[in-house]
Amino acid sequence: MLRHFLNGPTIYTHIMKKQMKGTTAIVPCPVILLSVKGKERPNIITLSWVANVCSEPPSVAIGIRPNRFSHGLVKDAGEFVLNVPGKNLFDAMKFCGSKSGRDYDKFSEMKLTAVQASKVDAPMIDECPINIECKTSHVINVGVHDLFVAEVLAVHIDEAVLDEKGRFDTSKVDLFVYIPLNGQYWSVDSNIS
Amino acid sequence: MLRHFLNGPTIYTHIMKKQMKGTTAIVPCPVILLSVKGKERPNIITLSWVANVCSEPPSVAIGIRPNRFSHGLVKDAGEFVLNVPGKNLFDAMKFCGSKSGRDYDKFSEMKLTAVQASKVDAPMIDECPINIECKTSHVINVGVHDLFVAEVLAVHIDEAVLDEKGRFDTSKVDLFVYIPLNGQYWSVDSNIS
């Protein structure tokens, strides 16, 4: 395959690549359950278009399609909770990502416990080991998704996943990730540092 | 621990949580090498504040501190490449995340190959199995980080990590993630779906 080096001659390399049109190719992606106060009942959606984006004030960004039921709930409420699930909540994650809160009470269907957050008016999913309380600061239309930027006001971590110094112990949660390039979920298994 | 349920009586649950102030608690996070054209030479920075945020047009968001050398390069260039490293580039990832492009030619120091991208004027890191060509669409100040939203114009995937149908084969790349809550890196090892 012909390769054009920036500051050198055109040479052949051993790495052959397939070029394709633009797509959401960042891998791996976190898998997050967003919980929000609803008009009639709290709701949950599964998100993978989500990241920490700023350290101070601690802030996150999430992409939500306007045609999803939760988009209106998140926009109207202006606050929500991001919940990090362990692998034991894999089925609930799939359910909350494929069913609409218009049709289902997802907390009840998935036997999840809604606990009132402390800084925002939103439910936290008690069964998730990490709950992140967020207040929207910016909404930016990017295309078929709106980007919500939100400040993190408080974090709750299950004491069972902390080490003796009170630090998060990765080995005590079965974290997993999403691979949008092929639709797979993979588990995070070994410490390499 | 006393818990107040949204629509029920106050009861005790078995899950005890530690509440802390707001922090960047989304886990796990991707680890990405951003490459950008520089004034004198191309540069690379390691990012974890990064996500796919929109499907159409395919778009990403990244957070970069204005005091980092690459911030000015990314802002001035308006285009860059996000490169997904395998575990074999772990040392390069650490180097590019801790040293400044002011002081080092990171491509040269890490023996990485800069290949000209096809749609944007930026170098791709040939040794990374996935290269994502991006053009900035929005820059939003969030706090100590600026949030860059960018459209994905093209993606290159190493043929060695595709299956016989040309689909991304997760098992052929040693992907890894960052855990900002404790500073650890973990590997993505097993398909669970």
Q: Give A54-104 pLDDT, tens digit per residue.
A: 999 999 999 999 999 999 999 999 999 999 999 999 999 999 999 999 999
| Interface with B, mutate which of A53, A118, A134, A168 (most B CBs under 10 A) | A53
Domains along the sequence of chain A with CATH = 27-187 (2.30.110.10)
What pLDDT shows up at residue B57? 97
Considering chain B, what percentage of its residues have pLDDT values greater than 90? 91
Residue range A29-50: mean pLDDT, rounded: 96
Listed in order, strand segments (DSSP E) in B76-175 are 79-84, 114-116, 123-125, 130-141, 146-158
Q: Is-contact B139 B48, C-beta < 8 A?
A: no
Asked if A32's CB is within 8 angstroms of B116's CB, the reply is no
**Alpha helices for chain B (secondary structure H):** 69-77, 90-98, 106-109
Backbone phi, psi, residue B134, to 5°: -130, 145
Distance from CA of A64 to the nearest CA of B (A): 8
Write out the H or E segment, with its range, that includes residue A91.
helix A90-98
Residues of A in contact with B58 (CB under 8 A): 22-25
- A63–B contact, CB cutoff 8 A: yes
- A49–B contact, CB cutoff 8 A: yes
Q: Give B176-192 pLDDT, tens digit per residue.
A: 999 999 999 999 999 99
* Dist. CA B75–CA A168, nearest whole Å: 35
Binding-face residues of A in 79-98 toward B, CB within 8 A: 82, 84, 87, 90
What pLDDT shows up at residue B12? 45
- Per-residue burial over B33-65, b if 16 or more Cβ lie within 10 Å, else e, is bbbbbbeebbbbbbbbbbbbbbbeebbbbbbbb
* Dist. CA A131–CA A44, nearest whole Å: 13
Q: Give B5-46 pLDDT, tens digit per residue.
A: 455 444 445 579 999 999 999 999 999 999 999 989 999 999
* Dist. CA A186–CA B173, nearest whole Å: 12
What pLDDT shows up at residue B15? 74
Residue range B90-97: mean pLDDT, rounded: 98
Backbone phi, psi, residue A49, to 5°: -85, 80
What pLDDT shows up at residue B151? 98
In the block, residue with structure tokens 């989500």: A50
* Dist. CA B48–CA A88, nearest whole Å: 26
Residues forming beta bridges with residue A182, ordered by sequence position: none
Residues forming beta bridges with residue A55, ordered by sequence position: A58
| Interface A:B, Cβ pairs < 8 A | 348
pTM over 0.90: yes
What pLDDT shows up at residue A38? 92
Is the pLDDT score of A12 beyond 70? no
Residue range B165-182: mean pLDDT, rounded: 97
pLDDT band at residue A15 under the 50/70/90 scheme: confident
Q: Give B48-72 pLDDT, tens digit per residue.
A: 999 999 999 999 999 999 999 999 9
Asked if B144's CB is within 8 angstroms of A180's CB, the reply is no
CB neighbourhood size of A74 (10 A): 25
pLDDT band at residue A14 under the 50/70/90 scheme: low
What pLDDT shows up at residue B4? 45
The residue type found at B159 is E
* Dist. CA B141–CA A86, nearest whole Å: 32
Asked if B176's CB is within 8 angstroms of A55's CB, the reply is no
Helices (H) and strands (E) in chain B, counts: 3, 15
- A171–B contact, CB cutoff 8 A: no
